[in-house]
Amino acid sequence: MKKLTYPALADLEALRKKVQHRRGYLELLELELFNTRKGLQDFTDAYNARLSGLEKELNRLEHLMEAKFEEEEKQREALPGGNKKKGWRYYSNPEADEVIKDDHQKKLEKDPIFEQKIRELFRNLAKRFHPDLAEGKEDKSEREKIMARINQAYSAKDLRSLEKMLKQAGERDSGNAIGPEAEILRNKVELRHLEAIIFEVEHTIREIDLSPAMQLRNDLHFEKEAGRDFFADIEINLKGRISELSDHLLDLGVDEKLVMAKG
């Protein structure tokens, strides 16, 4: 093994400190991301507890309206020169529709603890098996195969596979001392990997902060501080739309039992 000169040892020590600093910064970012996702999940739970029943009922009535207009459309098409009416979406309220954000709610269904664990497992495995750490062509080829399996498990959020691979990595590394040159290389690879994850986490935090779901959550916080019921206006709006749609369905001749049946 080639002996490192003093400048090289100094570089190694500086690299260790930089890696340690970025690890600490990433931990803070991941804690912020965890708390943000947890807060949004709590908001989603409160939103669903208060309003999901009304949203389901509104959705049921909208499907009835769609079916009714499709039925009438077929009847008009069967008549020569029949006048076409606007579809049922003409009667919807675009502004109120903005209140319901199913896509964002689906994103919030992720377990923040699970996401953090998956990320930590991936980072630890990448530190051990990154192809840049290879000591030769054969070693690099083997590492590329392992990293392909790691990336596949990470993409699939396969926690068990990642845990199994990390356990195998620990057994593989057990008793194998690492020299200064290998440590320098490993730290450089880890530093690049840390920077990539930091960029990803920072981007995710910014994306969540700008999301409509976060805006709603912030509104809830301000309304609570002011002693107001944030969900009240949304609840009134949904009830009004349900009442309006129910009346319109009855005017169109839809069976009252069908209209008044709760989903």
pLDDT digit string, tens, across residues 5-22: 656 778 888 888 999 999
Is 1 among the domain residues? no
Q: State percent of the chain over pLDDT 70.
A: 80
Q: How many CB atoms lie within 10 A of CB 100?
A: 17
63-103 residue pLDDT tens: 888 888 888 788 777 776 655 555 544 445 554 444 444 44
- Nearest in space to 40 (alpha carbons), one of 116, 109, 114, 118: 109
pLDDT at 54: 92
**Of all residues in the chain, what percent are helix, strand and coil, respectively (each to 5)?**
80, 0, 20
- Domain hosting 199: range is 6-260
Phi–psi pair at 79, nearest 5 degrees:
-100, 135
Alpha helices in 108-136 (DSSP H): 112-129
Is 82 among the domain residues? yes
pLDDT at 90: 44
Is the C-alpha dihedral spanning 232, 233, 236, 239 positive or negative? negative
pLDDT at 17: 92
**Tokens read off for 183:** 């440590």
pLDDT at 241: 92
Is 237 among the domain residues? yes
pLDDT at 81: 60
> pLDDT band at 106, cuts 50/70/90?
very low
Cα pseudo-dihedral 52, 207, 127, 25, rounded to 10:
-110
Residue range 115-128: mean pLDDT, rounded: 81
pLDDT at 121 over 70: yes
36-64 residue pLDDT tens: 888 888 888 998 999 999 999 999 999 88
Residues contacting 157, CB < 8 A, separation 6+:
114, 118
> pLDDT band at 256, cuts 50/70/90?
confident
- Nearest in space to 224 (alpha carbons), one of 99, 35, 42, 4: 42
Cα–Cα distance, 207 to 104 (Å, whole number): 11
236-254 residue pLDDT tens: 999 999 999 999 889 888 8
Residue range 216-242: mean pLDDT, rounded: 89
Contact predicate 185/133, CB 8 Å: yes
Residues contacting 242, CB < 8 A, separation 6+:
54, 57, 58, 61
Distance of CA 152 to the CA centre of its chain: 18
pLDDT at 173: 58
Residues contacting 39, CB < 8 A, separation 6+:
217
136-171 residue pLDDT tens: 788 888 888 888 898 888 888 888 888 888 887 766
Cα–Cα distance, 230 to 155 (Å, whole number): 37
**Tokens read off for 145:** 């195969």
174-185 residue pLDDT tens: 545 567 777 888
pLDDT at 262 over 80: no
pLDDT at 72: 79
Instruction: State pTM to two decimals.
Output: 0.56
Q: State percent of the chain over pLDDT 90.
A: 14
Higher pLDDT, 196 or 172: 196
Per the structure, the count of domains in the chain is 1
pLDDT at 238: 92
